[in-house]
Structure 1
């Protein structure tokens, strides 16, 4: 027996009961449209289109990232590693980058406590060890934070190395010869020995006797007379002194000593005084020479 009451409507009747009106056909393309049912052909097609667009965007983005990132990374590699106490143009650049990235740092050109604190604050944000050193990772963040700082220009590592080599080459020019170092070593070994006029060792010396014996130990002959020794050596300027050079004092160059560095000489001064170090400024300078 059939149940009484209203009959249930067919589940898909509303979708096929009538055709769309002409007015619906001319609805503008950008007008609101019903949400398609799950599984409909329209939704499947829209999904494929969305995926296609996303994939295309990813490819384009990858191409951009693939071409731009290496160049940007190279910029960070040009930057020098900076520590507290450093100064110069690269510190100015670091301070300007830090100011553009956050709290202002005066671009004094000196890496002081304030600059160190800002570097550590940046490192703390990234979970890095806060050692106050501005290295590659710090520069990489600052150079890619979207803020433009262009001066001073970053120094290439090759240029830094070149300057370092030139600096070492300059230092090499003032390195003492083996003979000079041996003579200086001899003089140091006799510190405390007594002054005796006319003596040249082995346990007492006068001024030229000490320098003569010192260079004799290195295989170089010198006269037992300070004035004559000045004529025997190649003369050098006071600003170009190196360890082991002979330094002459007083009128007539009546006194001679061996340069020991830092403005000091080793000499046999006078009777009653031991062979000792003394500052050059305590005696009237009157020339210098290089036996070797």
Structure 2
């Protein structure tokens, strides 16, 4: 016992606190985690790689664009001036270029006919160019420098021209036919391909009753320039009695007329934007028939 009469309570050693370890007498500082540094380093490498790839892609893309533009410029320098009657690989290329755009596909025949001229004019009209049916440098510049550009055939091939037959020689042939109906048919055949024009009865363009009027006029028979009036003036016949030269009427009100040529076909001038053509009678609703002479 102590002099004060109080007992000393023995102190227990604290086990909850541990003194920091020392290295050469100094307190050790905690080490920084290595994982974040590794991640940062990895990010840096990825970023550099991404920049490298982007730069490479840009360079390759630039080279491709430059190459494409160079190729288009090279082809443009070789592009020929094309018009109706031309025939070549260049015409086939023109048709393929036009088919790569919206619209009804052209037959890729390599021959520049009415359909090709019509599509060329449609493109020229869209771009404010004169619609003369000619595919010149301005047309090729449009076709070769947009996303619809196609490749082949080459534009450097030789272009030949096939002239349309002269109508005078063809028209002369109908004078030897004996019957008036045959003469009317021969005249109508000579007008195949002529454009439709409302109110026209030749030469060079026709509407439906204008074509039949002109055909029978060539045979010495006068007809009015109106479908109903023609039906009224001519002698009515049945479909089974049809022979070449007869007038065939279609649609309600007999609003359309053609010239019968045999084998169930007529020659007619269809509508604006089209040309004089052959067609099967069965393609239109039959309304009646008549024989002018």
TM > 0.5: no
- Bigger fraction of residues in helix: 1
